[in-house]
Amino acid sequence: MAKVVLKLGDDISTDIIYPGRYMATVLPSETPQYAFADLPEFNSKLRSGQIPPGSVIVAGKNFGCGSSREQAASCLKGYDLIVVAKNFARIFMQNAINLGLRLVVCPEIEAEEGDELEILPDKIINKNSGREFKVEPLPKARQAIIDAGGLIAYTRQRLLARAASRKKV
């Protein structure tokens, strides 16, 4: 079971998730402190450990639109949050998959802060309203990266395979 800790609307940009002024901070170990920095109440809950890993952010359409900054994915991954949205902007979705941040595409999702969600591969059950919402699969092109546990691991496999095939020749 996963609890909704933040509910957001449509078109949540990477400037909301990780404001541009903190972009000099790049390391995944350091970015979480600035997650939703312009929503000070939520940011302080995150930083003070009041949000347990596996908690859910629910959003509308086009979550993560805007900049390609990977900090917007790494700062949420740092708290092991799950983002459930009606859909995601392309670059944010790819960054999230590359870093292993869990995203769920759920075009009809309706949930409020405090609701408990059961997230299954094909649907989400909102335990508070009793309603079920269909989940759409992530792009099939990215499945190999998800399976490898992220893009660093996947690229490493590919690099080693390439080096091995060169050695054989």
Length of the chain in terms of residues written? 169
Quick note: the x/- pattern for another protein over 82-121, rule CB under 8 A, is -----x-xxx--xx--xx----------------------
Spatial contact of 31 and 25, defined as CB atoms under 8 Å apart: yes
Q: Is 130 exposed, middle or buried (0-12, 13-18, 19+ CB in 10 A)?
A: exposed
The answer to whether 17 touches 75, Cβ cutoff 8 Å, is yes
> 25 to 84, contacts with another protein by CB under 8 A?
25-27, 38, 61-62, 65-70, 73
Q: Does residue number 144 form part of the binding site for another protein (CB under 8 A)? A: yes
Q: With contacts defined by CB under 8 A, name the span among 12-20, 77-85, 102-110, 118-126 that binds another protein.
A: 12-20
Helix (H, G, I), strand (E, B) or coil at 6: strand
Residue pair 81/51 in contact by the 8 Å Cβ criterion: yes
Residues at the site binding another protein, with contacts judged by CB under 8 A: 11, 13, 15-16, 19-21, 23-27, 38, 61-62, 65-70, 73, 87, 89-91, 94-95, 98-99, 139-142, 144-145, 150-152, 154-156, 158-160, 162-163
